[in-house]
Amino acid sequence: MKTISVLTVIFTFCNIIFLVSGCPDPIQPPIKTDPNVTETFPEFLIGSWKADNSRWGLTFDHEGKLTSMVHHGGMTFLDVSQGILEEDWRDGIKAVYILGTQPIAKYDPSARELSIHITIEHYQITFPDGSLEGSFEDTLAGPVLPDNQTWNTVWRSTGTIIGAPVTDPNDAVLIKTETFRKLNPEIIK
């Protein structure tokens, strides 16, 4: 009986010491990063870019953050960091768009490739006799030409409409090319 009591006391004491002192942090493996992607956003990419053949317009700051945007669907986000856009259209139609995480562009100087992923997590357009809800995801990626004023992209867009039947997920994917031109020093409005 004494042996069990002594072992219980030693075990309890060790647990208290362990709990009070805490655990050492486990060794974390280093985070893998792409050595070609820069941490600083190049000066020549800062500013506004407008698409030649769609409504797209994007403005990047010195960190590569998207600060304002005209989405291909026509929505104009003057301050992307707010994450929400409410619009009153004509005839009682209202729309609300909620962005996902603030988009940050990535630039690979060795390939001269600029890319950005934009998520509209949820949208709702309310009509006098109903509503439409869904989401969008857009990726724009491609080379910036040596003139530093032209960005040729492959634009991949997926969207959903809540309640709409989807027979094949590939039916909801749009893939096309789009060329952007740098606007100096204008901001997209």
pTM equals: 0.73
CATH number of the domain that 70 lies in? Answer: 2.40.128
Q: How many domains, in total, are found in the chain?
A: 1
Q: Is residue 29 part of a domain?
A: no
Overall size of the chain counted in residues: 189
Question: 30-82: per-residue pLDDT in tens?
Answer: 333 444 444 689 999 999 999 999 999 999 999 999 999 999 888 899 999 88
Q: Is residue 189 part of a domain?
A: no
Q: What is the DSSP string of 9-67?
A: HHHHHHHHHHHHH-PPPPPPPPPP--TTS-SSPPGGG-EEEEESSSS-EEEE-TTSBEE
Q: Distance of alpha carbon 133 from its chain centroid, rounded?
A: 20
Question: 146-189: per-residue pLDDT in tens?
Answer: 999 999 999 999 988 898 876 676 666 889 999 999 996 655 55
Q: Is residue 145 part of a domain?
A: yes
Q: Is residue 167 part of a domain?
A: yes
